[in-house]
Amino acid sequence: MGRLFGTDGIRGLANQEPITPETALRLGRAAVEYCTKKGEAPVIVIARDPRSTGEMLEHGILAGVISAGGTALVSGVIPTPGLAFLARETEAALGIMISASHNPHNYNGFKVFSGEGFKLSEREEYEFEEILLSPGDAAPPGLPGSARTIPDPEARYRAFLRRRAGRGVSLRGMKAVLDCANGAASRVAPALLRELEVDTDTLFDKPDGRNINSGCGSEHTENLSGRVREAGAQVGLAFDGDADRLVAVDERGRRLSGDQLLTIFAKELKEQGKLVNNCVVSTVMSNIGLKAALSDMGIRWVSAPVGDRNVLAAMRENGAVLGGEDSGHMIFLDRHTTGDGLLSALMLLEAMKNFDRPLSELAGLMQGFPQALVNVPVREKPELEGIPDVKRVIEQVEGKLGERGRVLVRYSGTEPLCRVMVEGGSREEVDAAARKIAEAVKKALDR
């Protein structure tokens, strides 16, 4: 078995390697050994989203932790950022989230957090993976550990979010439509907004294990847009399956990009004197328009590789408190340790209230360059620089775009896809260029 950890944990088709009960068992044992080697008591928090395969994998991790002599604290279904919060609050050594985020129900995965609530660094992942992949699967000798259920995890998480976001701004009377993606936010998000007296209309909040992310959530906002217009709501808020990302639509039903949300948050924090080090971090996938908008506001922009873990690393290195990805992962580092869709939703509602302007106007703070993104299914992921035909086409496109655009071609870290992104001066130009590169990638890899 090769390297397991990708851009965001371990992910794949459930009940196929490596997302199997056997891997879950080894993961639980590896977690105990990892903690023990670091001199920490092996207390591990376990949570999941509502996929049909979640309980199967949860029981595997439980068996692994207990058989290795550790203590498992079981949360049940809760958003990934809720797991990060619980790891800190319970003073555990690790947290393990069972989720495949925005992927369909037949996928699942594992995300590992430190006891401080941060995703493991790349170095820590290698250390953990070395234990996980080491030969031998027998439990160490000694007495087994134990498992306990965490009482009221959702209520504790909601209270945490109210403390972190609700800093003197009343949201009473605001009207929002929620799309919970039939995922981990299905109970906690509507309850949270009701507690804050937001007039809330909720869609896709009845998970059955198989309908997570199915035609709904952050990847599919068509129904949300329609409901926002019908209800006369001020905003639509869509989460993904584990609620660590947010996608918003304005009062006209138009979808905002993650870069537009970052621009809104950056402006508000700067005006409040809370944008520490006058810096915002995003990834190489961000639209060129983000850099231009931040520059106009006198804010420094820092680019990081794709992945919220990389964004976080760059934020810590630059002393920034705001960072995110165009996909909707937003990190408010002075308020939480990881991307949190529910926290982002509260921060957006607060910004709308403070600016007293409709979201459609706030979206205009950033003017995006036309962007095309094409996903090419792949079976293998050879180094793209080593494929002459692909390299030649990319260079041709870059030469034609010149200073008016850019090209980014990379493999997905969580799916068997090659992502082709092109930005430029016109929609027709970028669409044609992206298709041309995608065809070259497909032709080369098919051979």
Per mean pLDDT, which range of 120-129, 177-186, 335-344 is the poorest?
120-129
| Residue 136: pLDDT band with limits 50, 70, 90 | low
Contact indicator for 268, 353 with CB cutoff of 8 Å: no
Q: How far apart are CA 246 and CA 396, in angstroms?
A: 36
For residues 57 and 3, which has the higher predicted lDDT (pLDDT)? 57
Please tell me the distance from the alpha carbon of residue 142 to that of residue 197, in angstroms, as a whole number: 52
Beta-carbon contacts of 94 under 8 Å, excluding residues fewer than 6 positions away, are 31, 34, 35, 43, 44, 45, 87, 112, 113, 114, 115
What confidence category does residue 137 fall into, taking pLDDT thresholds of 50, 70 and 90? low
- Residue-wise pLDDT for 168-177, tens only, equals 789 999 999 9
Residue with tokens 């049909």: 52
Distance CA 218, CA 238 (A): 5
pLDDT at 135 over 90: no
pLDDT at 236 over 60: yes
The reported pLDDT for the residue numbered 270 is 97
Handedness of CA 39, 45, 49, 51 (dihedral sign): positive
DSSP state of 6: B
Residue 37 tokens read as: 């080697």
Amino acid identity for residue 272 in this structure: Q
Average pLDDT of the segment spanning 57-62? 98
The CATH code that applies to domain 371-446 is 3.30.310.50
Whole-number Cα distances in Å, 46 to 65, 97, 104, 171: 10, 6, 21, 32
Q: Which CB contacts under 8 angstroms, 24+ apart, belong to 354-360?
A: 354/169, 354/268, 355/268, 358/234, 358/250, 358/251, 359/234, 359/235, 359/248, 359/250, 359/251, 359/256, 360/250, 360/251, 360/252, 360/254
Q: Are 182 and 50 in contact (CB under 8 A)?
A: yes
Q: Which class is domain 10-152?
A: alpha beta
Q: Do domains 171-249 and 371-446 have the same CATH topology?
A: no
User: Could you give phi then psi for residue 47, rounded to 5 degrees?
Assistant: -140, 170
Task: Report the interhelical angle of 21-37 vs 54-67 (nearest 10°).
Answer: 40
Tens-place pLDDT, residues 260-287: 999 999 999 999 999 999 999 999 889 9
Q: Give the DSSP H or E segment for 81.
A: helix 80-89
| Separation between Cα atoms, residue 178 and residue 191, nearest integer Å | 11
Alpha helices in 208-338 (DSSP H): 222-231, 258-271, 288-296, 308-318
- Work out the average pLDDT over 28-46: 97
**DSSP state for residue 9 in the 8-state scheme:** B
| Overall CATH class of domain 171-249 | alpha beta
For residue 395, give the 3-state DSSP assignment.
helix
Angle, helices 153-165 vs 188-195, to 10°: value is: 50
pLDDT at 343: 98
pLDDT digits over 286-326, tens only? 998 999 899 999 999 999 998 888 999 999 999 999 999 99
Report angle CA 187, 219, 366 to the nearest 5 degrees: 105
Q: Identify the H or E element spanning 419.
A: strand 417-423
pLDDT for 140: 67
Question: Which has the closest alpha carbon to 110: 85, 88, 132, 86?
Answer: 132
Q: At residue 381, does pLDDT exceed 50?
A: yes
Handedness of CA 207, 211, 217, 221 (dihedral sign): negative
Judged against a pLDDT cut of 60, whether residue 2 lies above it is answered with no
CB atoms within 10 A of CB 304: 22
Q: Where are the domains of the chain?
A: 10-152, 171-249, 258-363, 371-446
Q: Does pLDDT of 1 surpass 50?
A: no
| Average pLDDT of span 100-129 | 95
| Residues above pLDDT 90, as percent of the chain | 86
> Closest by alpha carbon to 238, among 226, 220, 258, 265?
220
CATH code of domain 258-363:
3.40.120.10
- The answer to whether residue 67 is catalytic is no
pLDDT in tens, 188-221: 999 999 999 999 999 999 999 999 999 999 999 9
Mean pLDDT of 150-157: 98
According to the model, what pLDDT value does residue 138 have?
A: 60
Angle at 176 between CA 172 and CA 182, to 5 degrees: 125
Average pLDDT over residues 113-117: 97
DSSP 277-298: GGEEEEETTS-HHHHHHHHHTT
pLDDT over 70, % of the chain: 97
Selected catalytic residue, list 67, 101, 114, 218: 101
Query: 72 forms bridges with which residues in the sheet?
Result: 44, 147
- As a whole number, mean pLDDT of residues 122-130 equals 93
Cα–Cα distance measured from residue 126 to residue 418, given in angstroms and rounded to the nearest whole number: 24
